[in-house]
Amino acid sequence: MILTHTLLIAAILIALTPLSGVAFAQTAKTPAAPTAPTTPAAATAPVTIQSPTDWISYENMTYTPVADEVSRRLAAAGKAFYEKDNKKAAAEMRAMAGELKEQAARAAKAAKARAKAEMTLAQDTATRMNLTAKKVTAAAAALESGKIKTQADWLKALDKATRADMELRWLVTDVTTWYPVSEEPQRHFGSALEAYAKKDYQTAATEIRKATSYLRLEAGRATSEARQALQSSVAELDTLAASVEKGVVKEEKVLAKVFTLANHALALAHRVKAAESWAREEYDKVGYELKAAAHGLESAAGWAGAEAKAGAAAAVADTKALGDKLASGATWAREEVAKGFESLGNAINALGQKIGSRKTAAPVNVGS
Tens digits of per-residue pLDDT, 141-195?
999 998 988 777 766 776 777 777 788 888 888 899 999 999 999 999 999 999 9
Tens digits of per-residue pLDDT, 219-241?
988 988 899 999 999 999 999 99
**165 in the same domain as 146:** yes
Is residue 148 included in any domain, yes or no?
yes
* pLDDT at residue 248 in the model: 98
Is residue 215 within 8 Å of 324, Cβ to Cβ? no
Is residue 124 included in any domain, yes or no?
yes
Find the domain containing 331 and state its range.
182-355
Is residue 368 included in any domain, yes or no?
no
Is residue 48 included in any domain, yes or no?
no
* pLDDT at residue 60 in the model: 65
* Domain end among 172, 207, 242: 172
* Domain end among 136, 154, 172: 172
Mean pLDDT of 246-268: 98
Please, what is the average pLDDT of the chain? Answer: 86
**339 in the same domain as 246:** yes
Query: SS3 of 50, please?
Result: coil
Residue 83 C-alpha from the chain's centroid: 32
Q: What is the full DSSP assignment across 186-201?
A: HHHHHHHHHHHHTT-H
Q: How would you write 103-150 as a 3-class SS string?
A: HHHHHHHHHCCCCHHHHHHHHHHHHHHHHHHHHHHHHHHHHHCCCCCC
One-letter identity of residue 178:
W
Return the bridge partners of 57, or none. Answer: 63
**337 in the same domain as 223:** yes
Judged against a pLDDT cut of 60, whether residue 251 lies above it is answered with yes
**229 in the same domain as 160:** no
* Domain end among 147, 172, 197: 172
* pLDDT at residue 117 in the model: 62
**187 in the same domain as 137:** no
Judged against a pLDDT cut of 80, whether residue 368 lies above it is answered with no
Is residue 37 included in any domain, yes or no?
no
Question: Which H/E stretch holds residue 2?
Answer: strand 2-3
Is residue 150 included in any domain, yes or no?
yes
**205 in the same domain as 104:** no
Is residue 25 included in any domain, yes or no?
no
**193 in the same domain as 338:** yes
* pLDDT at residue 43 in the model: 52
Tens digits of per-residue pLDDT, 205-220?
999 999 999 999 999 8
- Phi and psi based region of residue 309 (left: phi greater than 0; alpha: psi -120 to 50; beta: remaining): alpha
Is residue 58 within 8 Å of 78, Cβ to Cβ? no
**161 in the same domain as 86:** yes
**228 in the same domain as 168:** no
**193 in the same domain as 137:** no
Judged against a pLDDT cut of 80, whether residue 38 lies above it is answered with no
Mean pLDDT of 62-84: 89
The 10 Å Cβ neighbour count of residue 137 is: 18
Is residue 44 included in any domain, yes or no?
no
Return the bridge partners of 76, or none. Answer: none
Lowest mean pLDDT: which of 86-100, 147-161, 268-282, 335-349? 147-161
Tens digits of per-residue pLDDT, 299-335?
999 999 999 999 999 999 999 999 999 999 999 999 9
Q: How many angstroms separate the CA atoms of 192 and 199, rounded?
A: 10
What total number of domains does the chain contain?
2
* pLDDT at residue 113 in the model: 65
**234 in the same domain as 162:** no
Query: SS3 of 337, please?
Result: helix
Judged against a pLDDT cut of 50, whether residue 36 lies above it is answered with no
More confident residue, 198 or 174: 198
Mean pLDDT of 132-137: 91
**205 in the same domain as 82:** no
| Percentage of the chain exceeding pLDDT 90 | 62
One-letter identity of residue 131:
L
Quickly state the pLDDT bin for 120 (edges 50, 70, 90). confident
Judged against a pLDDT cut of 70, whether residue 17 lies above it is answered with no
